[in-house]
Amino acid sequence: MEQHAATMHEPARDHPQQGRERLILPPPAGWLGTDNEPDEMALLARLNPKTVMMMGDNPALPKMPERPTLRDFFELRFGAVTQRHLTVSAKRALDEGQSETVVMACLLHDISNGALIRCDHGYWSAQLVAPYVSEEVAWAVQHHQALRYFPDPDAGYAYPASYDMFFGPDFVPPAYLARDAEAARAHKWYKTARAVTLYDTYFFDDFPEVDWADLAGVVERNFRQPAEGLGFDGSPTAHMWRTMIWPNNFL
């Protein structure tokens, strides 16, 4: 009943599924190898005139504006840990007088973990934001992933104690990360990506919650927010932003 009443005020982009039960089939990247494998055949067998496969806005999620901004994704889609991790990383870099390039890279470095995907998060995150930031910011975002595994005492960077906890003390990074980290060390933007790794820690509970207003100026100057909204500007990664708006779409 509530869903039906809401249709009168919902914008045109909504799929007219009100009044029927929306069924969700989670994406394979979210359940392969886990105990959560959905029974696709059983779900499809539940289709009848009162059920549909989810398409469009999921009433269980906060409603996104028609022209979403970067901030909207932070506030309406990203998990609390990623949201805090990214804003605190950026604020610490800002407070320590780092360049806006470094601050922006810190703010975006794990963005794919917010609402998209974790595996190879540096590469996914860089690809996601590349159309909207400088080449250097995207490069630093991509390469922070590989550089996290390799100490650089000259830069004051040690292998993270948290990685021993996450992966076990005997973990060996895969060859492709060793290769990409080595290439990154020889690159002109190495220091930018290395700076991201220096502000990249999950264990700073003593750091106060960050007010977005403190970062708004840097975002304004370093993130080309499309007028049509992220997801609707026809960029090469618009579909990735739409996937975060509608993560439960069947197709």
Sole window of 37-45, 66-74, 155-163, 195-203 interacting with Fe ion (rule: CB under 5 A): 195-203
Beta carbon nearer to Fe ion, 52 or 90: 90
Cα–Cα distance list, 206 to 14, 88, 197, 209 (Å) = 42, 11, 19, 9
Segment contacting Fe ion by CB under 5 A, of 26-34, 97-105, 134-142, 194-202: 194-202
Least Å from the CB of residue 106 to Fe ion: 8
d(CA 223, CA 169): 38
Closer to Fe ion at the Cβ: 57 or 200?
Answer: 200
Residue closer to Fe ion (CB basis): 167 or 250: 167
**Binding to Fe ion, residues 67-96 (CB under 5 A):** none
CA–centroid distance for 138 within its chain:
13
Q: How far is the CB of 81 from Fe ion (least distance, A)?
A: 10
Q: Among residues 83 and 249, whose Cβ is nearest to Fe ion?
A: 83
Find the binding residues for Fe ion in span 91-110 (CB under 5 A): 110
Closer CB to Fe ion, 52 or 106, in the complex = 106
Nearest-approach distance from CB 25 to Fe ion, in angstroms: 29
User: According to the binding rule CB under 5 A, does residue 180 interact with Fe ion?
Assistant: no
Q: How far is the CB of 78 from Fe ion (least distance, A)?
A: 13
The one-character DSSP state at 155 is: G
Which residue type sits at 128? L
Cα separation, 222 vs 241, in Å, equals 18
DSSP string, 106-128: HHHTTTHHHHT--TTHHHHHHHH
Minimum separation from the CB atom of position 121 to Fe ion (A): 6
Q: How many residues in the shown chain lie near Fe ion by CB under 5 A?
A: 2
How many CB atoms are closer than 10 A to CB 210? 19
Closest to Fe ion by CB, 157 vs 246, is 157
Hey, what are 62's tokens?
């906060």
Shortest separation between residue 141's beta carbon and Fe ion, angstroms:
9
Give the burial string for 93-128 (b: 16+ CB within 10 Å, else e).
bbeeebbbbbbbbbbbbbbbbbbbbeeebbbbbbbb
Q: Tell me the residue type at 204.
A: F
Residue 117 or 238 with smaller CB distance to Fe ion: 117
Nearest to 232 by CA among 10, 112, 68, 62: 68
Judged by CB under 5 A, does residue 200 bind Fe ion?
Answer: yes
Kindly report the backbone phi and psi dihedral angles of residue 168, in degrees, each rounded to the nearest multiple of 5, phi listed first. 95, 150
By the criterion CB under 5 A, which residues form the site for Fe ion?
A: 110, 200
